[in-house]
Structure 1
Amino acid sequence: MPQRLSDHNVILDTDSYKSSHFLQYPHGTTRLHSYLESRGGKYPATRFFGLQYILRRTLTQRITQDMVDEARTLIEAHGEPFPYEGWMRIVNHHGGRLPLHVRAVPEGTLVPVRNALMTVTNTDPELPWLVGWFETALMRVWYPTTVATQSYYLREIIRAALEQTSDHAERELPFKLHDFGSRGVSSRESAGIGGLAHLVNFMGTDTLEALRVARNDYGADIAGYSIPAAEHSTITSWGKDHEVDAYRNILKHFAKPGGIVAVVSDSYDLKNALVNHWGETLRQQIIDSGATVVIRPDSGNPAAMVRMTINALASKFGTDTNTKGFKILRNVRVIQGDGVDEDSIREIIQTLIVDGFSTENIAFGMGGALLQKVDRDTQKFAYKASAAIIDGHYQPIYKDPVTDPGKRSKDGVLDLALEDGRMITKQYRDFDVPFEGTLMRDVFRDGELLIEDTLDDIRARA
């Protein structure tokens, strides 16, 4: 059996071809400047999030002789050259600290696309290739940023509907989109940082891993909340003939004054459960309990099932009309957790408004579409070199492919600034002095994390 490789060797957290690049830059290159941007995509702006988490796990690690030796052995056997002397310079001259400088916009900031979100440069003139080596790891900020961005735009859809139909929009909004995505992502890490990205915008989640990341990396005691809820097995284990007993048992344990419990109700026949079980047999028990029971349809066309559910519950439990003229269910609410994405959210909301019901009656549970159905191209993220110092002279760097003008990269030492109320990327030549009016901050330098935001800080910006 081959010798096991370390799970924590950050030298290996790169693309194979990066190991040959130290031989490819022009002779005399002493500084390199790269930047990260969203070149466009589905949404007109991005909510930047997750860099602190990535920096803590990559650039703050101390490089050791063992890490260098391990990486060299693997990479050279893999068919690539390895910059051994450069990595050993980090070990011996820098005490293992990575000589890089990272600047970025504050996490939680909403930035229009085609603007620099982060810049990276080397602080040791002998190691300019290090800026590109860590592109792979740093680029992964696209994921939490894209999740936070999508979640934000969904929040704005729901917010607009609440402001139109509810007297309590700000109170209701934080719990209207609940994260069901933990089982639908590719890894525990994705669940944690993706789930936390959603919690920048909302307060409801069933992704426990997001709470762990929030506490460990963003200083949050409890980042989000959940409620007791049924799944199909806790209903169907009672058998079809005892479906109502399964519901009654749930009410017994969780329907307390002021409490909330959610119950999936389509294991057999949703209409029968609504009209007979909830609407007749258990109706008075729900009313007397003082709790809010949230009914979850879980199959069929989302808009049609929500419409049927809310109208059936309205006929059995009654409604009140708010000051905006929309109906609110008494004692019960509805959550739709199947087939939820931007299109179905819009359709469900519009259907309820047409029927005269407030958006206050509905919440959404979103799984794979929230945390998994995004990729780097959703917002067209790119990390590109844009300037260098070669033989003591400034050199702009950019690509401009004739076959795809949309991929033209920026040149210059870049900074994000506020100009006439607009965020705009400024291009200049000074590697070491930020642009006047910069919106970026120094977040990492020479192995040290310089700023540690809390989740509260980020939510305040958001």
Structure 2
Amino acid sequence: MQTLSNLLLNTDSYKASHWLQYPPGTDATFFYVESRGGIHDRTVFFGLQAILKEYLATPVTHADVDEARDVFAAHGEPFNEAGWRDIVDRHGGHLPIRIRAVPEGTVVPTHEALMTIESTDPQAFWVPSYLETMLLRIWYPITVATISWHAKQTIRQFLERTSDDPEGQLPFKLHDFGARGVSSLESAALGGAAHLVNFMGTDTVSGLLLAKAHYHEPMAGFSIPAAEHSTITSWGRDNEMEAYRNMLRQFAKPGSIVAVVSDSYDIFHAIRQHWGTTLKQEVIDSGATVVIRPDSGDPVAVVHQCLDLLDEAFGHTVNGKDYKVLNHVRVIQGDGINPNSIRAILERITSAGYATDNLAFGMGGALLQRLDRDTQKFALKCSAARVGGEWIDVYKDPVTDKGKQSKRGRMTLLRHREYGGFRTVPVPASAASLDDVERPAGYDDAMVTVWEDGRLQRDWTFAEIRARADAARL
């Protein structure tokens, strides 16, 4: 559908009238994005590069202006046709804006500016506001990356306590199962890539494609052969064991990993009789690691019981930290997984003496869909305008909700070069540019210009982004 690819229509209806609403003499505006708090006290910045390449890299054309003019005329909104045609004619359709942001993968405390957007042409001062709808959608990949990052910190803590190889185990401990549960293919791509900033396990193919298309990553994540309920139950209940045997014969090779959902009927019977008795020697002889997947019940109790039953059947070794590591088999829990249940499950199995090596998690709706803009209270606000040649502060301060008080003036973000702390600082109204700011001792710029007048200024690789996110610790 052509309309959905038209940048001029990738906005809210009322934005079409806003160029008429600024004070006379306005010739520049300045906006910023921040997380005003939320569930987590820091966020992982990710997704801006993908959004910029996808939506701003293609110049606006007169055909786009024609279409937007007609849509808004029928819709009942005024439209700045002359302003948009001027951008096409004088700027070649490239929008005259500058976007500065922290490098992607940076972990930043809430209540700090993450990115700023400013106009660069006095005749197009209204453009940053027009782009708010599209640019604020950065909240989604940031929030997914943040949820995933915090889960990673939890899993890392338990691995460091119970595993002989915590860093080697960590990248595949949380698998993305979320593609079918999101609202769109684009959400799956952005959210799936955001998760891959922190982990390397995924079944969300579109996330791989986005990382390749926009972040130069040939293959960002990996998966394994795995059964679903239909491939087990289609054999019939009386042939459940044969369904499992087929999985072994098809996929269980020396050094391989295969996952088999085993609770279509009775997970405990399946482990005791099928996996732990009838198929036990076939599992051992295959040389593969067989991952048993429960998929219902109380995750904390079920995972623990499954580990106990598998331990009875296959035995374990004791690692260097005095925790049990099962022989030949593992468990993956995907049902009911969220950051809280991950911690509860790990606390339970750790107290029972099992290493975190024995368990992986799959996360779907809670990773890619059970979140919204208010999860981290994201906002994109105007903080300054130049009117009559003078910069003035622009802000809101509602008496009914001080949490929605916005920042004032032009600003930038600094980071302490030794301690790593962040500080959002004002840029004096008299300053000609954002470089004219007094930096406290020990602080450097935390933001860089990533986009200016239609051109990408920084092109991060996925490897660089992963390294930044992984370097941060709770």
**What is the TM-score normalised by the length of structure 1?**
0.98
In 2: Cα distance, 1:232 partner to 1:23 partner: 58
Please list, as runs of the form range in 1=range in 2, the aligned pairs for 1:13-92 lying within 5 A after superposition: 13-92=10-89
Q: Does 1:444 align with 2:451?
A: yes
Residues 3 and 9, structure 2, Cα contact 8 Å, conserved in 1: no
Which of 188, 193, 215 does residue 190 from structure 2 map onto?
193
Residues 31 and 122, structure 1, Cα contact 8 Å, conserved in 2: yes
Query: What's the counterpart of residue 359 of structure 1?
Result: 356
Query: What's the counterpart of residue 433 of structure 1?
Result: 434
Query: What's the counterpart of residue 244 of structure 2?
Result: 247
In 1: Cα distance, 2:434 partner to 2:402 partner: 31
Please list, as runs of the form range in 1=range in 2, the aligned pairs for 1:86-101 lying within 5 A after superposition: 86-101=83-98
Q: Does 1:337 align with 2:334?
A: yes
- CA change 1:209–1:5 in 2 (3 A) is closer
Tell me how far 1:298 sits from its aligned partner: 0.7
Which of 378, 386, 390 does residue 389 from structure 1 map onto?
386
Query: What's the counterpart of residue 146 of structure 1?
Result: 143
Secondary structure of residue in 2 paired with 1:300: coil
Residues 5 and 70, structure 1, Cα contact 8 Å, conserved in 2: no
In 2: Cα distance, 1:89 partner to 1:375 partner: 36
Secondary structure of residue in 2 paired with 1:294: strand
Residues 174 and 360, structure 2, Cα contact 8 Å, conserved in 1: yes
Structure 1 residues 85-121: Cα deviation after superposition (integer angstroms, max 9, x where no partner): 1101101111111101110000000000000000001
In 2: Cα distance, 1:344 partner to 1:138 partner: 33
Which of 258, 277, 302 does residue 280 from structure 1 map onto?
277
Which of 450, 457, 462 does residue 464 from structure 2 map onto?
457
Residues 338 and 365, structure 1, Cα contact 8 Å, conserved in 2: yes
Tell me how far 1:406 sits from its aligned partner: 0.9
Residues 413 and 431, structure 1, Cα contact 8 Å, conserved in 2: no
Tell me how far 1:61 sits from its aligned partner: 2.0
Structure 1 residues 299-337: Cα deviation after superposition (integer angstroms, max 9, x where no partner): 111111111110000001001111111111000000001
Query: What's the counterpart of residue 312 of structure 1?
Result: 309
Aligned-pair Cα RMSD in Å? 1.0
Tell me how far 1:5 sits from its aligned partner: 4.8
Tell me how far 1:6 sits from its aligned partner: 2.7
Residues 60 and 98, structure 1, Cα contact 8 Å, conserved in 2: no
Q: Report the AA paired with residue 353 of structure 2.
A: G
Q: Report the AA paired with residue 154 of structure 1.
A: A
Which of 220, 231, 234 does residue 237 from structure 1 map onto?
234
In 2: Cα distance, 1:276 partner to 1:209 partner: 39
Tell me how far 1:432 sits from its aligned partner: 2.2
In 1: Cα distance, 2:257 partner to 2:363 partner: 19
Structure 1 residues 353-387: Cα deviation after superposition (integer angstroms, max 9, x where no partner): 11111111000000011000010000000000111
Residues 398 and 411, structure 1, Cα contact 8 Å, conserved in 2: yes
In 2: Cα distance, 1:131 partner to 1:236 partner: 55
Residues 172 and 360, structure 1, Cα contact 8 Å, conserved in 2: yes
Query: What's the counterpart of residue 117 of structure 2?
Result: 120
Secondary structure of residue in 1 paired with 2:305: helix
In 2: Cα distance, 1:197 partner to 1:457 partner: 14
Query: What's the counterpart of residue 423 of structure 2?
Result: 424
Q: Report the AA paired with residue 128 of structure 1.
A: F
Residues 413 and 425, structure 2, Cα contact 8 Å, conserved in 1: yes
Residues 208 and 219, structure 2, Cα contact 8 Å, conserved in 1: yes
In 1: Cα distance, 2:185 partner to 2:205 partner: 10
Q: Report the AA paired with residue 468 of structure 2.
A: R
Residues 290 and 329, structure 2, Cα contact 8 Å, conserved in 1: yes
Q: Report the AA paired with residue 452 of structure 2.
A: R
Query: What's the counterpart of residue 370 of structure 1?
Result: 367
In 2: Cα distance, 1:394 partner to 1:276 partner: 76
In 2: Cα distance, 1:460 partner to 1:344 partner: 27
User: 4+ residue stretches of structure 1 with deviation over 3 A?
Assistant: none
Identity %: 55
Q: Report the AA paired with residue 454 of structure 2.
A: G
Q: Does 1:137 align with 2:144?
A: no
Q: Report the AA paired with residue 263 of structure 2.
A: D
Tell me how far 1:76 sits from its aligned partner: 1.9
Tell me how far 1:460 sits from its aligned partner: 1.2
**What is the TM-score normalised by the length of structure 2?**
0.95
Q: Report the AA paired with residue 281 of structure 2.
A: Q
Structure 1 residues 156-208: Cα deviation after superposition (integer angstroms, max 9, x where no partner): 01000111111110010100000000000000000011000000000000001
Q: Report the AA paired with residue 433 of structure 1.
A: L
Residues 176 and 204, structure 1, Cα contact 8 Å, conserved in 2: yes
Gaps of 5+ in 2: 470-474
In 2: Cα distance, 1:34 partner to 1:192 partner: 27
Tell me how far 1:457 sits from its aligned partner: 1.0
